[in-house]
Amino acid sequence: MGRIKKSALLLCMGILAVFGSIAAGAKQAEAYTLETDFNGIYGKEMPSYILKNVKPLFRKHVDKAVKKYNKYAQLREDDYVSYTKKVSKEDNKLGELMKKVKDDDVLRICRPFYIYNTWYSQKGVSEYYFLVTRNGKDFCKFRLQLDDYSGKIYFSYDESDHFLQINSKTPADMIFYRNREYVYGETAEGKETLRDSRNTGEWLATDDDMVAQDRDQSFKKLSYDQKKKVIMENLAVMKKGKIKKKAIKYIKKDLGKEYVESESDKKIVDSPLTAFTEKKDYKKYIVGGVVVVAVLLAAFILRKLYLKFMEEE
C-alpha cells in the first residue's frame, strides 16, 4: 500500500507540474505589454486594415503557438520526433523565443516594410513585414501574408527572415526590393545588399527568366525617387478593390471582438453598395429592372395605340 500511495503521489505531482508549466506559459504569453509604432515611409502607405489589426493578430497567433509549445512540453522531452508531428517548426521557434519574455517586458511592433519583387509581373502586395523590439532592443521579425484570391491572412514567423539585415537602425526612408538572388536596400545616398539568397539555398520561383531579367534591369536603372514611386503605387493596389473587402471580412471573422476598424474601411465594407455587389444580387436586380422598364414601355405604347384607335372610331 505504501508503494501505491507513493506512486500515486508522484503521479499527481507530475500532473500538477505539467499543468503548472502550461499555465505559466499561457500567463507569460498574455502578461507582456504590446505596443505599435509605425514609423518609416511604409507606415504611411500600408493598408489601414493591416496596420490597425497587426497587434491583435500578433498576440493571437503568438499566444496560440506558445500554448501549443507548452502543451506538448513533456512530449518534447520524451519523444522529439512525435513532438514535431504535433508542433510545427514555426510554433516551436516562437515558443522558444517567447520564453525570453517577462511579465513586465514591453514588446513594440514597429518599422513595417515591404520588399518589392522585380521578378514578378503582377501588381499587388502579398507580404507585409514588421520588426519587434523588446524593451527597446531588436527582438524578432514576422510577416503577415495575404492570399490575393481568398483575402485570408497568414501569420508567419520564419527563422530565415533573420538573414535580412534590417533592424531598428535601418534608415527610415530606405526602400526594399529583390530579384532572384538578392535583397537590396536603397536610400537617396546609395544602395546596399541586405541579403544574399544564394547563401540560404533559396531560389525564387519566377516568370520567364529573360522577361524577368529585363524587368529587373529596367527597375535598377531608375533613380531612388522613381523606384520609390513604383513601389508605393504597387503597395496601393491592396488598399482598394475586392481584395481589400475580402481581407477585411477575413480579419473580422478571425479576430471577432478584437478587430479594430477604421472609418474608411467601415464605409467600404458596410455600405449598401458593397453588400449589394458582394452577394452578386446586382445581376438579378438589373434583369428585373430591364423587365420592369420593358413592361412599362409596352404598356405606354399599347395605350397610345388604343387611344389612337378610339379616335379613328
pLDDT confidence tier of residue 187, bands split at 50, 70 and 90: very high
Place of cell 505559466: 24
In a domain, 285, yes or no: no
In a domain, 289, yes or no: no
In a domain, 250, yes or no: yes
- 3-state SS, residue 29: helix
Among 239, 24, 36, residue whose Cα is nearest residue 123: 239
Q: Which domain holds residue 267?
A: 2-279
Continuous segment of H or E residues that includes residue 117: strand 115-117
pLDDT confidence tier of residue 210, bands split at 50, 70 and 90: confident
In a domain, 210, yes or no: yes
In a domain, 102, yes or no: yes
Among 260, 278, 257, residue whose Cα is nearest residue 268: 278
In a domain, 215, yes or no: yes
Instruction: Return d(Cα 196, Cα 222) in angstroms, integer.
Output: 22
Among 49, 87, 83, residue whose Cα is nearest residue 65: 87
Q: Are strands 106-113 and 33-37 parallel, antiparallel or unpaired?
A: parallel
How many structural domains does the chain have?
1
In a domain, 84, yes or no: yes
In a domain, 57, yes or no: yes
Rg (CA), the chain: 28
pLDDT of residue 235: 85
pTM of the prediction? 0.71
